[in-house]
Amino acid sequence: MMKTNGGLYLPDFEHDACGIGFRAHLKGGKSHQIVADAITMLERMDHRGACGCDPNTGDGAGILLQIPHEFLYDECLELGFRLPKYGEYAVGMIFFPYDEKQRNECKEIIGRKVEKLGFELMGYRKVPTRNETLGEGSLSVEPWVEQLFLRLTDADTITFERKLYVLRQITTKLIHESVAGSEESFYYSSLSTKTISYKGQLTTDQLKYYFPDITRKDVISAFAIVHSRFSTNTFPSWKLAQPFRYIAHNGEINTVKGNVNWIRAGEASFYSEFFTDKEMQMILPICHKGNSDSAHLDNAIELLHLSGRSLPHVMMMLIPEAWEENPDMDPVRRAFYEFHSSVIEPWDGPASISFTDGKIVGATLDRNGLRPSRYWVLKDDTVVMASEAGVLDIDPAQVAYKGRLQPGKMFVVDMEQGRIIPDEELKGDICSRQPYQQWLDEHKIMIRDLPESIRPYTQYSEEGLMKRQIAGGMTSEDLRLILAPMATSGAEAIGSMGIDIPLAVLSNQSQHISYYFKQLFAQVTNPPIDSIRERSIMSLISFVGASENILSESPRHCRQVQLDQPVLTIKQFDKLRFVDYEGFQAKTINTYFNTNVPDPAKALEFALERICRYAEDAIYDGFEIIILSDRAIDSDHAPIPSLLAVSAVHHHLIRKGLRGKIGLLVESSDIWETHHFATLIGYGASGICPYIAFETLSSMNRKGMIAGEFTDEQLYKNYIKAVNKELLKIFSKMGISTLASYRGAQIFECIGLGKTFVDRFFTGTVSRIGGLGIAEIAKECLIRHAVAFPKIPVESVKKLETGGVYQWKQRGEKHLFNPDTIHLLQQSARVGVADPKRGYEIFKKYSRLMNEQADKTMTLRSLLKFKGTKAIPLEEVEPVENILKRFATGAMSFGSISWEAHTTLAIAMNRIGGMSNSGEGGEDEARYTLLPNGDNMNSRVKQVASGRFGVTSYYLSNADELQIKLAQGAKPGEGGQLPGHKVDEWIGRVRHSTPGVGLISPPPHHDIYSIEDLAQLIFDLKNANRKARVSVKLVSEAGVGTVASGVAKAHADAVLIAGYDGGTGASPLSSIRHAGLPWELGLAETHQTLVKNKLRGRITVQTDGQIRTGRDIVIATLLGAEEYGVATAALVTVGCIMMRKCHLNTCPVGVATQNKELRALFSGQPEHVVNMFTYLAMEVREIMAELGFRTINEMVGQSQYLAPRNLGDHWKLKHLDLSRILHREEVETALYKQEEQDHGIEGVLDHTLIRDAKEALENQVAVSAEYKVNNLNRSIGAMLSNEISKRYKGKGLEPGTIHYKFYGTAGQSFGAFSTRGLRFELEGDANDYFGKGLCGAELVVYPPAASTFFPSENMAVGNVSFYGATSGEAFIRGMAGERFCVRNSGAKVVVEGIGDHGCEYMTGGIAVILGQTGRNFAAGMSGGIAYVYDADQSFAGKCNTEMVDLDDLTEEDVEILTGLITRHFENTGSDVARRILENRSFELEKFVKVFPRDYKKILMEREAVVA
Amino acid sequence: MEFERQAALKRGIEERKKDYREVEQKYSEEQTRQQATRCMDCGVPFCHNGCPLGNNIPEFNDAVYEGNWKYAFEILDSTNNFPEFTGRICPAPCESACVLGINKSPVAIEYIEKSIIEKAFENGWVKSSAPRKRNGMKVAVIGSGPAGLAAALQLNKAGYWVTVFERADQAGGLLRYGIPDFKLEKSVIDRRLKLMEEDGVVFRTGVNVGTEISAGQLQEDFDAVLLATGSTLPRTLDIEGKELNGVHFAMDYLTQQNKRVALEEGYDGLDLSENHAGERYQKEDIRATGKKVFVIGGGDTGSDCVGTANRQGADKITQIAYGLLPPNERDASTPWPMYEHKLRTSTSHEEGCERLWSVNTKAFIGDENGNLKALRLVDVSWKFENGKRILIENPDTEREVEADLALLAIGFSSPQSQGLVEDLNLKLDARGNIVTENYRTSRKGIFAAGDCKRGQSLVVWAISEGREAARAVDVFLSGSSLLEAKEVGMTSAVFS
């Protein structure tokens, strides 16, 4: 792993994802075929891995198998030593430094420790390797690979393994400490008596060439696990290749920072009967720095396994099923999970894990099932498990059965017992090992069981309350816009139009410390979760109290207080404050510092030391809870920010190894908005009492500031509900499901806090531009304290400050767009129509004001100045026209803004050669035709967002750019919702949905759960329109550069780095403000990382977010962007006056509304927009001339033309350090896009399909043909559909004109964006994303004629089939995976069984399910109908009925259903269909009609109109 | 939008012309609430920017809408010491800036403001704001107009002993004597002064600082002095006949009538022979009864003269302005959100008067007794040259019109410099206004605020300046201040 060298890139940000699989023999029969097959599987998953700028440097590939005893025996004999029996010796597969001297140093250390631990070192074997095919990257750090052979007499296998573990840990530690540079170059791939791993930074097909060993016929094994890695970076790292020693992991542990901290926090109390104390000391620390999340997980699994738990048991602890919200779970199993939840928090995130201890090999899937895992059991006892179907050519006749791993489920092949142990049995055994339920009943404490406090606190007087409100930092805006809506509606208020106030560190207002922390969110490498519709997998439960040694289990382990959710009322808090329950006690520590001293900064420091010391003492005194409280503040004592207090204690105790001994609760005056709660939990708090928020609500209620009649208790309840809801959303946007995992996970980047301060109090948090230290934080507290507790009692402070964050206020926070700048910008564009010169003068006034107010340090760029040396004449700079082509407007859907506003922007951008963006709402096909005057309303950029509204082949075919929106600045990691009343006829038509029915955009793209999925979608889109470039929109956050490299490696043509602050969309207030980073950081990081990876020349970089002036654009260019998005300013130009009420449909200037009357008030003209962009370009040219640049291209990334402004001695700004933003990578490589990506679509099957369809395409004559396919044939039909759309527009061809039949296992995205006129039959099965974006084609799947399994009980197609389908039909004889028909809005499909989350967000069409469904069916389903065959009447329990009714069939339904089932039978020969049809009189009765309520209402209304 | 704009209802023209009581009717709670619902609570409240006081308009509108009048009052009170004045006589730049005004009629902000404060007085919410503790320091405020009163109130809250000096016989300055009762009944001022006195502010009326108390004495007696003496020197027309009987400054005219009303209301201690500046009238009683009245000047003061003359029973009233007739709608030169240039018709205009535009007065023509008998007028036009407006007279149109009374309402030029300002030797700018830096004059411990510093302006600006100056005095004397500032939040690092 390359170290950072002064830039923004940090290795912590790396992510990986991949393809995994194993092949095993059920009865433990060893053969070389197993190894050879596994390698084939690996090679067939090549598209799931990645390579960097040079195609020969892979991200990593490897294989884990049983020790090939025969082979090694012979090899060692030649080397002069004789191996004992299999199992009586261990083999270490070791990466040594290439340097011989260093290598010998390593070996010396190993030698000494081997001896000390009582092993016999038999010898080393140099592993033969062939590095000729390696690329430069991996070659540069290629290790020297040797095998170590050890023997230990008189030890059983497990003892041997434990000793090996000790040896490995201690030698690794010692070598890293004493041999220079060995951190990277010394590593044990494996050290075991049973398994051995061959891995490296290789491409999948380099593996067997590099390690000739594994191709040797005498290398035999009963199983082999393979892994191909797709990492977002290419910085060489051999050791991060997988499989690891116990697992291969496809996925990402989002909470790894917290998990590692919790492991570390517990280390001091680790005790195991299987290790001596001395050995334990050698083992620690468990988790090594610089490891990937997967490597850490492997470390944790190993520890828990070797200290006495079986591997499946460990898996269940670390990756538990979603038990919390599942009442149907077996109570014994539930008790197991509940008990273990107080032992250790889940390692949360998407995970498909293959694991082995040498005797069993198994696989498990995370609770959400976010990674595909398919398996096959063959009649010859072969078991195959892989991320994809089709990775091995399996004779259909040999298949006994095939399936997929389900969320939370485990699949174990026990080679000793010679059978597959089903999930139920396996878990049943594990769960009944101990009387977990009894332990829980006897020891777990519920808060309701505790007695009422005898000393409850009473409420403050109004005056006392106000003092605490002010000290805590509350403003009247917080009351009106944050507290009141939460307490009355149970949800956070919504806002619009981004945020244009200064970052906390740049603000003059005293800041809440949490405002220096920005929430991180998942993009690309990991999906955010929908915490509303997938509530069933989310949990808010946490425990307070001492945790016990995780290496053992006992009843005491669950002796903790369980909190069902983290927000405690004053009453509940008082209960805990004075708890005395069987010796369970809490210690309260005052979180204040003395203000009445000469140096209050020192006082704050002393106070923090004091609370840490008291906390430590409390542990030794036997307390189990620490309460941090600021209730005792007064005129001489200011509150310590609660977040600082909590994190200081948390990290202090982690450092002391005591953190696990105590539960941390906090009550403070500075907690009211959700972000405050999220930060507190993220830094270790278990329970939080926002007592001043509660008292404020009571006071507001008394004073009539709450609209409506509520009791105080109702207000509290709603408020808590709102906090909980938003917390779940904050977790879920990072892809985290449980509070227990989020707690302490530090899912934040800090901006504006100094390194020393962060390292000490927020250890491990990323903070890249430095900033405040303890003195400045003290000052921020003192400013508020001085107003709250004035030295002289003045009458003036009677009202809270106004805030001015969400609304511009004269004495509030500064805003870039304020009355003056809005006015000038509008004037310039308007005056410019008649008088361009005068228009530009006004524009200059505007930009001067904008830049000047920026001078008051509102943005990061305002801290920079230009550093030009050689001005050139303006004429030498490239013309305005060239620059205009680089402009884009933002992605705003027709629906979010009016037709008038949307088309005005499009016309203007087409006039200047820039790009307008359709947004995510589809596009009216009328816009693809020019207007009579030659104007063009077509949006050149067509967005592909998670809702896939109106994304058809024809839509895609009409784009110059296809933009995949992974996140948006206003609410990264969140979905959206267009309420039904906004979906009028027009919008419904454009979005291919039912007017009146609400539309939900899911938080994730359901076809992008990882980077390899993104690569697949890019591939799909490239197939769907070869001439369009594919762009990926990301939001700036720590690590976005690394993600952008991944995006480049996934072959995107462009990447957009959006600032957190922009964004015109409606979103919850806290998301607008607290998630994401300014573009300056994200853009600079992206550019630096791409350059470092030599990928910059392959990808266009665009940026947006509050770009307002020529100066902004030049800075963006110097930091690495070559294209620029300007959305808000463009909207202002056409009349927007920043009402920030876009979500209410009341826009008074006709911009963001669908109301006809209001739309009539729209006064913008394309000329205005053209003027604004022209003026921007003119300004850019002027600055370019000053700096001496003739073209934009030569300016890209020349950050040496920027320098920090002299900010004098400003108390806050003086500590900022922008050098990392301005850092230039010294790598010889292109700095702007110069080279086209190789999309790999040259050889796709569709070229053949198109050729064979010539007659149909040209003359609409029917054609048919047959093809053999395998999993490498991906996106079949997309390119062919593009050809149809180009010729026949949205209408396509007559059904069945092109009739193709395929044999085999089809690759991902079979039939993607397939349009009308196609009929595809697939005899075989298919992978994920089957029928994605189906728009008119017919798809039919049935099993091969030779197969003998029951089709209806076996997998036919993978996960996420028919995602975003808009029309067409499909008949599938067999089962589909999870998330069937997500966001279907028009397709009619029949299938014989599906997994979880079926028909989620569906808005139209028909789904017929002739078999079992998984859980959470119909979540967020607002339209369309599903008919479910519910033979065993279990469906009701699995259906999420929040939005749907379960109805009986009407006559009309029977007719539709019978028709579809008949066609299913005709198309597929389904025996299920036949049986139903034959017995239709009573079989049809078993169907349930899933009918969305809104949809029903609309249909009934329509009927009424017709009647 | 559910409701149309409806500002304060007015009494019938015939009825109101018979007396000097306020033209506007008492607010109606329901109507005010309806009007408040029109507020869109804009993300960028241009009204709030348009208000020189920074009144937090969307917030108080919201509170009124919710029926939470008390909170509305607290919001209003935190930025404006005297909403009862601005709610009556402000030209409401906030309404010009209201976002609704882009394509509809703006929110009736001023009416809502007035309703809130009247409701607050009715309910006794406007209470003493005397400090709990005095800091012992003393501040003199010279002038009891809106700037002086605002400063006095703020300083008193901050713990100072404040004495307000006023050379006229009653406190209130221009509010009392410049503005007719039909726009602002004087009881409105009295009720506020009474509260201030209860809170400890000392008013010394009839005291001409500079003559009766020397500047030196003042500095000796007080820790700081704030000048809020206004811009009192009226502009005059330097033309033939200006000394004639029947040619008067509007302010003299209005003062006299205001005093007459006050006497009828039972005030005592008023001297009808003195004007608002405490100076004796040089000419006769000024009455319009039965006269042909010419009001020269198209502004608000002129309009006040029209209303007064109508009530006095003038025979005919003509108001003349040399500017062009403004358009009926917002002129393109002042796009939203600027204060719009357009034809404004005041309640006084409604009561009857002829308005002439593009007319200049060339001379006052007197009879043999030195009484005005006619005006010589000429039509003018304007042209633009090098960005400047140039007036061109059309000599063909010169004519004489019969006139008995001419009232000059063409503004004020500067504060009076003789006396206090000269004694203190304060630095003045080219226009004669006192030069300040953050309200500090060139003399340490001497501050200035309001029209004497910024030149003639609006009441709302005077209040704003008074408040800001009070902060400056507080910071000067105490090192910091917890008084609210217009543009700086309390919890801002640069606040104190």
ipTM, two decimals, is: 0.93
DSSP sequence for A658-689: -GGG-EEEEE-TT--SHHHHHHHHHTT-SEEE
What is the maximal distance between C-alpha atoms in chain A? 97
Q: Supply A433's token pair.
A: 């090992």
Q: How far is CA B212 from CA A441, A667, B172, B209, B226, in A?
A: 90, 62, 20, 6, 17
pLDDT band at A1097 (very low <50, low <70, confident <90, very high): very high
Contact yes or no for B71 and A704 at CB 8 A: yes
Q: Tell me: the pLDDT tens digits for A97-148? A: 999 999 999 999 999 999 999 999 999 999 999 999 998 888 988 999 999 9
Across the range A307-330, mean pLDDT stands at 93
Alpha-carbon gap: B221 to the closest alpha carbon of chain A (Å): 23
pLDDT value for A956: 98
- What is the rounded average pLDDT for all residues in chain A? 93
Strands (E), B94-215: 138-142, 161-166, 202-205
- Using the Cα atoms of residue A34, residue A35, residue A39 and residue A45 in order, give the sign of their dihedral: positive
How do B405-408 and B292-296 pair as beta strands?
A: parallel
pLDDT (0 to 100) of residue A2: 40
Our answer to whether residue A53 is catalytic in this structure is no
* B396 pLDDT more than 90: yes
pLDDT of residue A3: 44
Place of tokens 């009420």: A1141
**Least-confidence region, from A15-24, A616-625, B214-223:** A15-24
* pLDDT value of position B495: 67
Question: How many angstroms separate the CA atoms of A1309 and A47, rounded?
Answer: 13
Residue among A793, A1146, A1212 whose CB faces B132 most closely? A793
Task: Tell the burial category of A217 from Cβ atoms under 10 Å away from its Cβ (0-12, 13-18, 19+).
Answer: exposed
On whether any CB of chain A is under 8 Å from the CB of B49, the answer is yes
Residues of B in contact with A1137 (CB under 8 A): 42, 44, 46, 99, 102
Number of Cβ within 10 Å of residue A416's Cβ equals: 9
Report helix, strand or coil for B403.
Answer: coil
Substitution target in A796, A1072, A1214 with the highest count of B β-carbons within 10 Å is A796
Residue A540 to residues A337, A730, A732, Cα–Cα distance (Å): 15, 12, 12
pLDDT at A794: 65
Q: How many CB atoms lie within 10 A of CB B122?
A: 11
C-alpha A196/C-alpha A742 separation (Å) is 35
In chain A, the N- to C-terminal Cα span, in Å, equals: 71
Digit-coded pLDDT (tens) for A1120-1133: 999 999 999 999 99
State the nearest Cα–Cα gap between B486 and chain A, in angstroms: 6
Q: Take residue B19 and report the two structure tokens written for it.
A: 């007396």
Do A792 and B103 lie within an 8 Å CB cutoff? no
A186, A164 in Cβ contact below 8 A? no
Mean pLDDT of the region A419-447: 94
pLDDT band at A1392 (very low <50, low <70, confident <90, very high): very high
- Judged by CB atoms closer than 8 Å, whether chains meet at B68 and A703 is answered as yes
Number of Cβ pairs closer than 8 Å across A and B?
168
Which of left, alpha, beta for B173 (phi over 0: left; psi -120 to 50: alpha)?
A: left
Q: Which amino acid is at A1395?
A: G
Regarding predicted confidence, which is higher, A54 or B54? B54
Whether A1365 shows a pLDDT value over 50: the answer reads yes
User: Angle at which helices A1079-1092 and A1040-1049 pack, to 10 degrees?
Assistant: 50
Question: To probe the interface with A, which of B333, B491, B494, B496 has the most A CB atoms within 10 Å?
Answer: B491
Of the pLDDT bands very low, low, confident and very high (cuts 50, 70, 90), residue A1325 is very high
Could you give the count of Cα atoms lying within 13 Å of A1480 in the half-sphere of its Cβ?
12
Q: Could you tell me the pLDDT band of residue B193, with boundaries at 50, 70 and 90?
A: very high
Smallest Cβ–Cβ distance between B71 and the set A705, A790, A1211 belongs to A705
* Overall average pLDDT of the A1264-1281 stretch: 97
Residue B475 structure tokens: 């910071």
**What residues of A are in contact with residue B479 (Cβ under 8 Å)?**
none
Across the interface, whether the CB atoms of B48 and A1139 are under 8 A apart is answered no
Residues 6+ apart with CB under 8 A from A931: A907, A937
Q: Tell whether B61 lies on the interface with A, counting CB pairs under 8 A.
A: no
Q: Which of B103, B482, B489 sits opposite A509 (nearest CB)?
A: B489
pLDDT of residue A793: 67
Testing the interface with B: which of A700, A799, A827 to mutate, by most B Cβ within 10 A?
A799
Contact yes or no for A792 and B135 at CB 8 A: yes
pLDDT of residue A591 exceeding 80:
yes
**What is the rounded average pLDDT of the residues B103-118?**
96
B83 SS3 class: helix
Q: Does B37 touch chain A (CB under 8 A)?
A: no
Bridge partners of A383, per DSSP, are: A24, A377
pLDDT reported for residue A252: 87
pLDDT on residue A1: 35
pLDDT tier at A796, thresholds 50, 70, 90: low
User: Residue A1005: pLDDT above 90?
Assistant: yes
The stretch A665-691 carries a mean pLDDT of 97
Nearest CA in chain A to B128: A795
pLDDT of residue A54 exceeding 80, the answer is no
Q: Which of A513, A702, A811 to mutate to test the interface with B (most CBs of B within 10 A)?
A: A811
What's the token pair of residue A1083? Answer: 């853009």
| pLDDT at site B490 | 84
What residue of B is the nearest CA neighbor of A781?
B491
As a whole number, mean pLDDT of residues A1042-1054 equals 93
Checking if the pLDDT of A370 tops 70, the result is yes
Q: Is the pLDDT of residue A1075 over 70?
A: yes
User: Measured between CB atoms, which of B44, B159, B495 is closest to A817?
Assistant: B44
* Whole-number percent of chain A with pLDDT over 70: 98
What is the pLDDT of chain B when averaged over all its residues?
Answer: 94
Mean pLDDT of B184-211: 95
The model's pTM is 0.94
Task: Encode pLDDT of B460-471 as tens digits.
Answer: 999 999 999 999
B1-43 pLDDT per residue, tens? 678 999 899 999 999 999 999 999 999 999 999 999 999 999 9
| Dist. CA B424–CA B417, nearest whole Å | 10
Give the DSSP letter of residue A1144. G
Would you call A172 helix, strand, or coil by DSSP?
helix
Q: If you average pLDDT over residues A484-503, what whole number do you get?
A: 91
**Facing residue for A787 by CB, picked from B131, B158, B482:** B482
pLDDT at A1180 over 60: yes
| Residues A252-291 pLDDT 10s | 898 998 999 899 888 888 999 999 999 999 999 998 877 8
Contacts of A1149 in chain B (CB under 8 A): 102-103
The answer to whether residue B432 scores a pLDDT higher than 80 is yes
Residues 465..494 of B with a Cβ closer than 8 Å to A: which? 478, 482-494
CB contact under 8 A, A818 and B44: yes
Kindly tell me if the per-residue pLDDT of A738 is higher than 60: yes
Residue A945: phi and psi, rounded to 5, are -110, 180
Q: Tell me what the mean pLDDT of segment B366-382 comes to.
A: 95
Alpha-carbon distance B60 to B63, whole Å?
Answer: 5
Nearest Cβ partner of A796 from B71, B75, B158? Answer: B158
Angle between helices A293-306 and A311-318 (to 10 degrees): 130
Residue B140, pLDDT above cutoff 80: yes
Total residue length of chain B: 496
